[in-house]
Chain A
Amino acid sequence: MNEITQVTGTGVPLFLDDIDTDRIIPARFLRCVSFDGLGEHAFEDDREQDPSHPFNNDAYRNGSILVSGRNFGCGSSREHAPQALMRWGIEAVVAESFAEIFFGNCTSLGVPAVCAKREDLATLSAAIESDPQLEVTVDIDALQVRYGDQAIPVTMPEGARGALVSGQWDFLSQLLENGDQIRETAGTLPYVSSFAG
């Protein structure tokens, strides 16, 4: 798979905490057998209720870097959430922290999710609001986000970062390589043999 070292684009400021996956993609849109078409429903109910929601703002329509607060993606394990964001056009998320299942789902999809300090997010978010065309780069090789003449430090668990920058974020191929070891481990677990050993 391709190596993902950085994402460059314009931003979408959604600097709120605890954005849950039900808000990112309401459950009724999970009635599907394919992820196709989820993009247009990203944040649908929030957009409906809040005309000023950034996903309603044409100035951010081409934004590919989502900026949010703490505990982004909390709630359900639905991969439909990062799938919807990705299909909307989001290619990277910068937030104060992420719910773990959401984070894992992003990595599986090759969407870098990096953590930044709250004060840095506030500044970044304000910079995007004042200039929606501002170019932002999320660099997971150097672990920084750059915009204008600013560079803010970001963090990302090494396992996910390493997988993305080395192009090994298709975990399935790696997991498949170890069939013998998998069977060996299974053989040591008493319940796998129904406690017959």
Chain B
Amino acid sequence: MSDTKNLFNKVWDLHTVGTLPSGQTQLFIGLHLIHEVTSPQAFAMLRERDLKVMYPERTFATVDHIVPTDNQARPFADNLAEQMMSAIEKNCREFGVTLFDLKDGRQGIVHTVGPEQGLTQPGMTIACGDSHTSTHGAFGSIAFGIGTSQVAYVLSTQTLAMNRPQVRRVGVNGELGPGVFAKDVILHIIRQLGVKGGIGYAYEFAGDVFDRMTMEERMTVCNMSIEGGARCGYINPDETTVEYIRGRPFAPQGEAFEKAREWWLSLASGPNAQFDDEVSYDAASIEPTVTWGINPGQSVGINEAIPTVASYPEEEQKGVQEALDFMELNEGQSMKGLKIDVAFIGSCTNGRISDLRQAAELAKGNRVAPGVKAIVVPGSQQVRRQAEEEGLAEIFTEAGFEWREAGCSMCLAMNPDKLKGREICASSSNRNFKGRQGSPTGRTLLMSPAMVTAAAIRGSVTDVREMLEPVGA
């Protein structure tokens, strides 16, 4: 049978340099993205060993995690953040790496910037010292997060020592209902397969639901592969992928683009492609989804009750009870109507222009509920400019949302944007871990940007479908 190889294995084989004494593959990394938090120690390792960056032209840096989203005047109020900022500026200058800094106009969250600049392309291997590097898999690349020692390996050799994972095809077919978004699809998948279900696997997301998705929606899905334990997830490149890349600053141009297009499409898993495992879900069964617990697999459809502790296998019950206690929620309770204190729209999961358009559509003509602090943090300076040109920023501010500068912000709260005390945050980000949003006892409810907007306006968790225009009325 011809073409039984799936995209993952094709791309892996093309990037294999050789087999190391340990039996691991030495894998060439086509694009290395770095940011201020996980790179300073890696550059220190290079200095210690007197090494250079092997392919500075294949390495791009931005600043995102510690960037303040209100006052960006230098030096930053936070001295530690200022130190990290100065370190990446110095490192990029000395090692010849392009840095999209705050004055550049291209700065933003690393996983927003790569795609919008056309750096992210099908068939590449992409690594970054950030677990949400899986985002770039939306283009049919193999993209995964690495630790700081590995950042040093890629800087100095453009390669990594890796074990080849197995590949699981995750199918979703059928029609998504109104008010159900890419975020709900991936939260549903993680709930079904579990937060550790993907360990040892790369996920290929396939089926007509993904075929119809825009690139930004595909990025939302692949972004959260890691929350399901899969180090990377991807979607096969198609004409949607090609058209997204066309004309972007770092995309091939003219005749080279047509050659690229042909190569990109040739990598897609064909009809005879084989997988180590396959699962599939019915799109119609997915509801707007919200998390109730302390990991992204602990979620329910908005009209479901929180499951009973007894419904879990005995060995998991202690963890489930711990989650309920931390969240101060009860089994059998509905999430609908739960009061929120903060609403956060942004992050590498949902901080792109289509997310902001969706949120603005709901925010238009409405007001943020009294007592709720609501912030919108665009994923990049480019997204911010576009949102301002389209009038979205004005809609947000008129509705009582704070309109911020680009960065990771309250997704992981390394900058001044943090929850306080026991606050509950409706968040379009990717992790609801204990303490994730900056207060050790703060609570996070993950949901789509539309659901966050609805919660901000009503002041409590809401089924966004109640606020959408009736279809076909």
Q: Which residues of A contact B (CB under 8 A)?
A: 16-18, 20, 22-23, 26-28, 30-35, 45-46, 48-49, 70-71, 74-80, 82, 97-101, 104-105, 108-109, 118, 157-160, 162-163, 166, 168, 171-172, 174-176, 178-179, 181-182, 184-186, 188-192, 194-196
A70 to B297, CA, bound (A): 14
Query: Can you list 19 pairs linking A and B with CB atoms under 8 Å apart?
Result: A17-B316, A18-B195, A20-B434, A23-B435, A26-B435, A26-B440, A27-B414, A74-B229, A76-B431, A77-B147, A79-B38, A79-B41, A79-B147, A99-B196, A99-B199, A101-B231, A158-B22, A172-B149, A195-B260
A74 to B296, CA, bound (A): 11
A75 to B38, CA, bound (A): 15
**Chain A proximity of B272: nearest CB distance (Å):** 24
Interface bits B403-435 vs A (CB < 8 Å: 1, else 0): 000000000111000000000000000010111
Q: Which residues of B are found within 8 Å of A194, using beta-carbon distances?
A: 252, 256
Q: Is B33 an interface residue (CB 8 A)?
A: no
Point out which of B26, B144, B316 has the most chain A C-beta atoms below 10 A from its C-beta. Answer: B26
Q: Is B468 an interface residue (CB 8 A)?
A: no
Asked if A75 contacts B433 (CB within 8 A), the reply is yes
Q: Is B18 an interface residue (CB 8 A)?
A: yes
Given contacts A16-B319, A34-B41, A175-B161, contact A71 B196 (CB under 8 A): yes
Q: Is B44 an interface residue (CB 8 A)?
A: yes
Asked if A20 contacts B84 (CB within 8 A), the reply is no
Give the contacts of B111-147 with A (CB-CB under 8 A).
Answer: 121, 123-124, 129-131, 133, 144-147
Q: Is B315 an interface residue (CB 8 A)?
A: yes
Asked if A22 contacts B434 (CB within 8 A), the reply is yes
Binds A, one of B150-158, B278-286, B348-356, B382-390: B150-158
Name 10 extra pairs, CB < 8 A, besides A171-B160, A175-B20, A182-B157. A16-B318, A20-B295, A75-B431, A78-B147, A79-B148, A101-B226, A158-B23, A166-B21, A185-B17, A188-B14
Asked if A100 contacts B231 (CB within 8 A), the reply is yes
Q: Is B471 an interface residue (CB 8 A)?
A: no
A15 to B284, CA, bound (A): 38
The 8 closest A-B pairs by CB, nearest first: A79-B147, A77-B145, A105-B147, A45-B440, A108-B149, A71-B196, A31-B80, A33-B40
Asked if B20 contacts A45 (CB within 8 A), the reply is no
**Chain A proximity of B202: nearest CB distance (Å):** 11
Asked if B149 contacts A109 (CB within 8 A), the reply is yes
Asked if B440 contacts A49 (CB within 8 A), the reply is yes
Q: Which residues of B contact A (CB under 8 A)?
A: 14-18, 20-24, 26, 28, 30, 37-38, 40-41, 44-45, 49, 51, 54-55, 58, 65-66, 78, 80-81, 83-84, 87, 121, 123-124, 129-131, 133, 144-150, 152-153, 156-161, 163, 165, 195-196, 199-200, 226, 229, 231, 252, 256-257, 259-260, 263, 295, 315-316, 318-319, 322, 412-414, 431, 433-436, 438, 440-441
Q: Which residues of B are found within 8 Å of A20, using beta-carbon distances?
A: 295, 431, 433-434
Cross-interface CB contact of B147 among A71, A97, A108, A175, cutoff 8 Å: A108
Given contacts A77-B145, A157-B163, contact A28 B28 (CB under 8 A): no
Asked if A159 contacts B23 (CB within 8 A), the reply is yes
Q: Which residues of B are found within 8 Å of A184, using beta-carbon distances?
A: 17
Asked if B84 contacts A33 (CB within 8 A), the reply is yes
From B440, which residue of chain A is reached at the shortest CB distance? A45
A129 to B417, CA, bound (A): 40
**Chain A proximity of B152: nearest CB distance (Å):** 7
Asked if B153 contacts A172 (CB within 8 A), the reply is yes
Asked if B434 contacts A99 (CB within 8 A), the reply is no
Asked if A100 contacts B200 (CB within 8 A), the reply is yes
A171 to B295, CA, bound (A): 32
From B55, which residue of chain A is reached at the shortest CB distance? A186
Asked if A76 contacts B131 (CB within 8 A), the reply is yes
Cross-interface CB contact of B256 among A33, A175, A188, A195, cutoff 8 Å: A195
Q: Which residues of B are found within 8 Å of A70, using beta-carbon distances?
A: 196
A30 to B78, CA, bound (A): 13
Given contacts A18-B195, A171-B161, contact A31 B319 (CB under 8 A): no
Q: Which residues of A are found within 8 Å of B144, using beta-carbon distances?
A: 101
Q: Which residues of A are found within 8 Å of B436, using beta-carbon distances?
A: 22, 27
Cross-interface CB contact of B22 among A18, A97, A163, cutoff 8 Å: A163
Point out which of B21, B80, B149, B412 has the most chain A C-beta atoms below 10 A from its C-beta. Answer: B149
A86 to B35, CA, bound (A): 24
Q: Which residues of A are found within 8 Å of B322, using beta-carbon distances?
A: 16
Q: Which residues of A are found within 8 Å of B195, using beta-carbon distances?
A: 18, 71, 74
**Chain B proximity of A33: nearest CB distance (Å):** 4
From A32, which residue of chain B is reached at the shortest CB distance? B80
Q: Which residues of A are found within 8 Å of B157, using beta-carbon distances?
A: 172, 175-176, 178-179, 182
Asked if B315 contacts A185 (CB within 8 A), the reply is no
Given contacts A79-B38, A175-B26, A191-B121, contact A45 B319 (CB under 8 A): no
A17 to B294, CA, bound (A): 12
Asked if A33 contacts B260 (CB within 8 A), the reply is no
Asked if A181 contacts B435 (CB within 8 A), the reply is no
Cross-interface CB contact of B87 among A33, A188, A195, cutoff 8 Å: A33
A105 to B438, CA, bound (A): 24
Asked if A185 contacts B15 (CB within 8 A), the reply is yes
Cross-interface CB contact of B414 among A31, A33, A182, A196, cutoff 8 Å: A31
Q: Which residues of B are found within 8 Å of A75, using beta-carbon distances?
A: 131, 431, 433
